[in-house]
Amino acid sequence: MRRRKSGLAIMAAAVAAAMTAVIITNPVSVQAVDAPACAVGYQVDQWSNGFVAQVKVTNNSAPIDGWTLTWTFAGDQRVTSGWSADVTQSGKVVTARNQAFNRGIATGASVQFGFQGTFQGVNETPVDFTLNGVRCNDTNPPTTTTTTTTTTMTTTSQEPPPGCPSGAFCDGFENQTGTTPAGDWSLTFPNCQGTGTATVDSSTARSGSKSIRVNGRAGYCNHVFLATPRKTTGSSLYTRFYVRHTTALPEAHVTFAAMKDTADGGKDLRMGGQNRALQWNRESDDATLPEQSPNGVAQSTPLAVDRWTCVEFGITGSELRTWVNGTEVPGLRVDGVSTPDVDAQWLRRSGWKPALTDLRLGWESYGSGDDTLWFDDVVMAASRVGCS
Ligand code: CA
């Protein structure tokens, strides 16, 4: 069986949602002056001591082939991971370098990258962005009067759906306005883009009138995910979503939910199927839960087709539990005690303790396996929420 280990470039949605967002617009010149050589937009989505920043770099000068953006944090912000750029930090100074796919920025064009970080106190927006040594957002020719306006806009998200626990992230996709998922979500096409699609769908909803439809296709380029940064902090993460498959889980290995694990080299913790049953898979070493022995597979469960299935999992420290329609699946439990056919293979690596930074829902097939599937009513919370 072929399985691909991918280094996903994760495009995270970083717009206002279940929390307050601060949007800093690009500078605006009130008199006709030269545009700054570069403009940097910096949009933050933050929770108690963590945040995700989406950075947009616009080149107003000659075409660039290879770029380095630097800035200085005013506080004790710490970058923990990045995507679409190599983001490193030394003291308060952060350096973001292009990746191979986005090294070129034509005149007037933009690139975007993001990172996740932690902070204490106030998370101030940096003011000293420099692109390849040139100060950005700086319309300051010495003989011309200019004004730079920074607009701070506070947006308040929609009310969470009824029954959404305090502090939880709940999304039934009812606030989506187009067919391309937006807001808290963005689309990712790992490595290359093919025929896999994910769209806001108004024909099949578990709640309200909207859901996400994924046209999942086998093939390296056809992988597609709907992605959002992790919306909760703390040592426990409980996630609940409803999924509706059209095709039974195949013999071949597939993934329909993935999370980046920064404690595992940034590789994915994957939920999907193999041998027709639900399973977990660790991208870094390809361990599966349960083991793919007949006894192991028998302790997991297939997923129904043409109806909504409630899938829940909870991760606390090194323990993982999984429920389907409210019933725990014994073969999908890592409890720290090695159990043959269940978590014996998983626990061969000691010290597994995931640090998950996002949630992706979609389709990734490593052999055969096409499916059309829907997702709705996603919850991320600090404790189990059940199938309400
Ligand atoms: Ca819905």
What is the average per-residue pLDDT within 284-311? Answer: 97
Task: List domains and CATH numbers for the chain.
Answer: 7-135 (2.60.40.290), 169-381 (2.60.120.200)
How far, in Å, are 41, 52, 124, 140, 375 from residue 72 at the CA level?
A: 15, 16, 10, 20, 40
- Is pLDDT of 126 > 60? yes
pLDDT digits (tens, 9 = 90+) for 202-254: 999 999 999 999 999 998 889 999 999 998 888 899 999 999 999 999 999 99
What is the average per-residue pLDDT within 11-27? Answer: 41
With beta carbons less than 8 A apart as the criterion, state whether 182 and 176 touch. yes
What is the average per-residue pLDDT within 99-115? Answer: 87
Rounded to whole angstroms, how far apart are CA atoms 87 and 176?
A: 31
> Distance from the CA of 254 to the center of ligand 1, in angstroms?
24
> Distance from the CA of 172 to the center of ligand 1, in angstroms?
4
Of the spans 7-16, 76-85, 375-384, which averages the highest pLDDT? 375-384
Structure confidence at residue 163 as a pLDDT band (50, 70, 90): confident
Identity of residue 190:
P
> Distance from the CA of 207 to the center of ligand 1, in angstroms?
4
Structure tokens at 10: 């994760």
> Distance from the CA of 361 to the center of ligand 1, in angstroms?
15
Q: Which range among 42-51, 66-75, 189-198, 250-259 shows the weakest confidence by mean pLDDT?
A: 42-51
